[in-house]
Amino acid sequence: MGTASKVFMFLIPLVVLIVVLAILFRPEEGLFDKAKGLILGAKDVLPKISVGLEEQKAEVTIPDAHREEIILLGDTIKGMLKLGNKNCFSNAGTMSDLGEGGTSLEFDLRGDKTLLTVSGGAGGKQTIADLAAEFPGLKPCVIAGEGGISKNFFTHFIDEKELYYPYFKEASSLTIWYGTSGADGNRISVGGFDSGTVNDENDNFENEGWLFTPDGQHVCFFPTNKVANYDDDGIDNDYFSLGEKNSIQFRIDQGELQLCS
C-alpha cells in the first residue's frame, strides 16, 4: 500500500472521531454547521497532503537513459557470470553523463554476492529501489592499482606479449558517479584503494563500456587515464576507441581478443 493511502486510512477515522466528539460535547454551536466546517477543513488538508506525497515520490527518479544503461550493465554482468569464460571481454554500452539527475551506482561485495545500489533524485541521495540488484557469485575488480596491475594487463592484452600476474585487482566496492572537481565527467572510485590511486582522479571512466573477466567470477571495470599507456590509475582512454591501433575494440574486431559471448 502506498504512503498516501496509509495517510488517508489514518486521517479519515480521525476526522470522523472529531465530528462525533463535536456533536457529543458542543451541541450548542450547531451540529450541522460544526460538522460541515470540520469536514470541509479536512477536505482542504487531505488533498494538500496527497499532492505533497506525490510530488515527493516524483522526485525520486533518474533520467530514462540512465535507467536503460544501468539495466543493460546489470544484464551484461549476469551474462558474463553465466557463461563463466576466462580472459574475455563484454561491452555494456557507453554510459551517458551521470551529472544529469545526479545518478550514481555503488557495487558492494557482501560475502558470496555483490549488491548494486542506484541513487538519484533530489541531491542524488534518494535510493532508486526498483534498480537495486543482487549478483550471486560476483567479485568486482578493476584493471588498476599498485603492483603493476595495468602494466601486466596492457603488456599482454594490448601489446601482445607474455602474460604476467597480477593483471587485475579485486575490489570491496566500486562507485560510479559524476565528478565536477577538475575535469567534469563520469568517474569511478575503488573501495580499499588509498586516496592517491584511482580515487583522486576525475573523468576517469572513459572506457566505452568495456568489461573484462579473468575467470568467470571476477568482473573488472576499467578506470582510465589521459596520459600514459598504463599507470596505477588505469589504462589510457585511447585504448578503448576503435581509432587507436591495438585498442581493445580494434583487437576484438580483428579476432585477436575473445568476447565472452
pLDDT digits (tens, 9 = 90+) for 49-101: 444 444 444 557 899 999 999 999 999 999 999 999 999 999 999 999 999 77
Report yes or no on 50 lying in a domain. no
Q: Which of 219, 218, 222 is nearest to 230 (CA)?
A: 222
Note the pLDDT tens digit of each residue in 99-118: 977 999 999 999 999 999 99
Alpha carbons 11 and 26: distance in angstroms, whole number: 22
- Asked if 29 and 93 sit in the same domain, the reply is no
Instruction: Give me the domain span that covers residue 97.
Output: 64-253
Q: Which is more confident, 6 or 257?
A: 257
Give residue 33's pLDDT band: very low, low, confident or very high (50, 70, 90).
low
CB 211 within 8 Å of CB 221: yes
Helix/strand/coil percent split, the chain, to 5: 40, 25, 40
pLDDT at 255: 95
Work out how many domains the chain is built from and give that number: 2
User: Is 54 part of any domain?
Assistant: no
The reported pLDDT for the residue numbered 1 is 53
Q: How many CB atoms lie within 10 A of CB 119?
A: 20
What pLDDT, in 10s, does the model give residues 181-194? 777 999 999 999 99
Give domain status of residue 55, yes or no.
no
- Is 52 part of any domain? no
Res 48 pLDDT > 60: no
Please indicate, yes or no, whether residues 243 and 114 belong to a single structural domain of this protein.
Answer: yes
Q: Which of 110, 59, 73 is nearest to 188 (CA)?
A: 73
In sequence order, which residues have a C-beta less than 8 Å from that of residue 237 and are 6 or more positions away? 206, 207, 224, 225, 226
Render pLDDT for 148-159 as a digit per residue (tens, 0 to 9): 999 999 999 999
Instruction: Kindly state whether residue 259 falls inside one of the protein's structural domains.
Output: no
Q: Are residues 76 and 184 in the same domain?
A: yes
Question: Do 20 and 118 reside in the same domain of the chain?
Answer: no
Average pLDDT over residues 112-136: 94
**Residue 67, all three cell numbers:** 535507467
- Asked whether residue 130 is domain-assigned, the answer is yes
Confidence band (pLDDT; 50, 70, 90) for 219?
very high
Residues 38, 72 within the same domain: no
138 and 41 share one domain: no
